[in-house]
Amino acid sequence: MPETDPRTDLERKPEWRATGIVFFAIVAIALLYAAFMIVWPFLTAIIIGAIVVTLTYPIFRRLRTRFKENSNRAAIVMLIGITFILVIPALLLTGLLVQQANGLVDKLQSVDAQQMIERLDVAHRLAFVQRYVPSFDPAQLSPQRLLLPAMRQIPGWMAKHGSAVLGGIAGLVLGFFLMLLASYFFYVEGESILDQLAILSPLPEKYDREFASRFKDVIDATFRGQVFTAIAQGFATGVGLAIAGVPGAVFWGAVAALMSLLPMVGAATVWVPASIYLFISASMGARGYFGPIFLTAWGVLVVSLIDNVVRPWAMRGKAQLPAIPLLFAVIGGMQAFGFVGLVIGPLVFSLLMAIIEIYRTTFSTRKAVPG
């Protein structure tokens, strides 16, 4: 009679099979956690790389066909194209922003600007508030206390924090390089990764395809809706500021584009204060009333309505979030992931809604009871 392996007898016992599964699960969770901690410093670059590849994969596929299915050559060409598309405009825009910011600082520090601020006489204009709020001191809101010291400290601040600014630029360059590496990997190995995920997924194949399709739609809709709307509102704000004669129109247009990425904030945080500044300047005889009237009308009729025109056009046929959930998604995403959370936050919320919708339409067995 052949001898049996004691380990085989143990494996046949249900309690030992359960122990093996638990042990395997513990090891797998520990390794996944360790891998996550290793990848965490580079998670932003990896996520951005995945988003870029998702958005540009059809172009990569056509390039790969032209290169006789050589994924490496097609990926290198894609990375070169992405670098030129992103880096060259960014350098040009940065040069314009620096030039505009320097001109703006010079004008704010000029004698005419300081005299105009002093002529506002905010303390005298707000003196009546003390009759209703005795503890209120209008002198605390004086521009001489708030604005002039800050304007005088701008050159010193730049000299003091120059190294930090250079360090931030170096960090951006490193992050961009890591994003390119992640994009290269996803271009070359993306289809293989999806195949492996499909094997590991416990869902039927049709659900995997549906979830992958929704994932791509959400990324495409979130990216296009946010970015196209922000660019359009920033451009429109910059044009309006330039026509109205506001100094640093390109700089403030770029600021408006960034602010437009935040729902319920938007470009109004730029053109509304600019309109107030122009009205105050006109009331003192420093300029005519065309600028403030035009900029106010332009902001209300053009800039504010762009969101209702460009966003639906950019997100047509795609998944999108209502305004209030989008606000929480953006703010929470920025707190969790930094600036890239502007995309990741809405992406996570949209995917959650997609999962709920897939479950509702495919897994739920409850049916409405006829009334």
Is the distance from CB of 83 to CB of 77 less than 8 angstroms?
no
pLDDT at position 368 = 45
pLDDT band at residue 34 using 50, 70 and 90 as cut-offs? very high
In terms of Cβ atoms closer than 10 Å to its own Cβ (0-12, 13-18, 19+), residue 9 is exposed
Question: What one-character-per-residue DSSP string does 232-279 give?
Answer: HHHHHHHHHHHHHT-TTHHHHHHHHHHHHTSTTT-THHHHHHHHHHHH
pLDDT above 60 (res 60): yes
Q: How many Å apart are CA 369 and CA 371, to the nearest integer?
A: 6
Q: How many Å apart are CA 119 and CA 117, to the nearest integer?
A: 5
Question: What one-character-per-residue DSSP string does 38-94 give?
Answer: HHGGGHHHHHHHHHHHHHHHHHHHHHHHHTTT-HHHHHHHHHHHHHHHHHHHHHHHH
Q: What is the mean pLDDT of residues 36-65?
A: 87
Percentage of residues in the chain having pLDDT higher than 70 = 65
Q: How many Å apart are CA 371 and CA 368, to the nearest integer?
A: 9
pLDDT band at residue 369 using 50, 70 and 90 as cut-offs? very low
Better-scored residue on pLDDT, 302 or 364: 302
User: Whole-model pTM above 0.75?
Assistant: no
pLDDT above 70 (res 126): no
* Token output for 36: 């996550």
Better-scored residue on pLDDT, 89 or 183: 183
Which amino acid makes up residue 32?
A: L
Q: What is the mean pLDDT of residues 23-38?
A: 88
Residues in the chain: 371
- Closest listed residue to residue 49, CA positions, set 59, 57, 38: 57
Per-residue pLDDT tens for 2-30? 555 555 555 555 666 777 778 888 988 99
Per-residue pLDDT tens for 281-303? 777 666 777 888 899 999 888 88
pLDDT above 70 (res 168): no
Sign (positive or negative) of CA dihedral 305, 310, 311, 312: positive
Per-residue pLDDT tens for 331-355? 787 777 776 676 777 778 877 877 7
Better-scored residue on pLDDT, 24 or 319: 24
Percentage of residues in the chain having pLDDT higher than 90 = 8
Average pLDDT, the chain: 75
pLDDT at position 250 = 82
Per-residue pLDDT tens for 69-103? 888 999 999 999 988 887 777 777 676 666 666 66
Which residues have a Cβ under 8 Å from the Cβ of 261 and sit 6 or more positions away?
226, 230, 330, 342
Q: DSSP assignment, residue 139?
A: G
Domain boundaries, the chain: 14-128+137-200, 203-371
pLDDT at position 331 = 75
* Token output for 284: 């003192």
| Straight-line distance from the first to the last Cα atom of the chain, in angstroms, rounded to the nearest whole number | 71
pLDDT above 60 (res 133): yes
pLDDT band at residue 364 using 50, 70 and 90 as cut-offs? low
pLDDT above 60 (res 371): no
pLDDT at position 106 = 63
Q: How many Å apart are CA 62 and CA 40, to the nearest integer?
A: 33
Q: What is the mean pLDDT of residues 27-35?
A: 90
Which residues have a Cβ under 8 Å from the Cβ of 256 and sit 6 or more positions away?
233, 234, 237, 238, 267, 269, 270, 271, 303
